[in-house]
Structure 1
């Protein structure tokens, strides 16, 4: 609803009303974000505990994990998440929990080896294969000559 503004007093009153409305909305948004953070606190804590347990169990050093993460790029991260989901959704839709777990582990391991450089190299190879190549030697065009042949002249 737009208020009718006739003079500066009405304009200042409308500005104050809008500032108060903005503050109320900001307070409401901060409350909502605090509730969301409170809901996510426990699952995040459980995830950290489980990941710490597996790191201790398999002996991966956190410094080695950061070195491994440095080699990963956005393509690798997308494939690590999307490949297991796509395989389980389209290739193994009615398989059991064990089969889906195995597919997820294998596909994540395979996705670690794929990065944007390998994808770019593959695309370049396909583009070179599809690209029409020019012939190495250009032939001279055949010129049709309908004039008098040189052997038919009389001397």
Structure 2
């Protein structure tokens, strides 16, 4: 709260200052109600569902915790060792696990969905895009106007 010293010399100045303070008090009360409603609505059930019920919301709680990258850093080396490096030696499997673990940490839900959509687009095929020709449009003077 700011403290201001005002030199009030007459009764009229005092009454105007009181009115100004009452108006300021009411405005701050209205603003406080508005801000408190917005704050409460921020944590309502519908807003929480909208915020966290997305594919990336399930897999990423905040900027530091990324569940999908942690899962991929564990699962990807296991898949690589059981498929690609099946007959390889210990050193090759260790290097493969190290590299695929680092790659798994860099993957998040958005990049995984992008990769999935790219692979899906290869299999769905491409439809020939046809251009619709635009009909002739004349934006000049309309024929029934009174301008000659």
Superposition TM-score tier, normalisation by shorter sequence: 0.3 to 0.5
Question: Higher helix fraction: Structure 1 or Structure 2?
Answer: 1
Give the alignment's TM-score, normalised by structure 2. Answer: 0.38
Whose Rg is larger?
Answer: 1
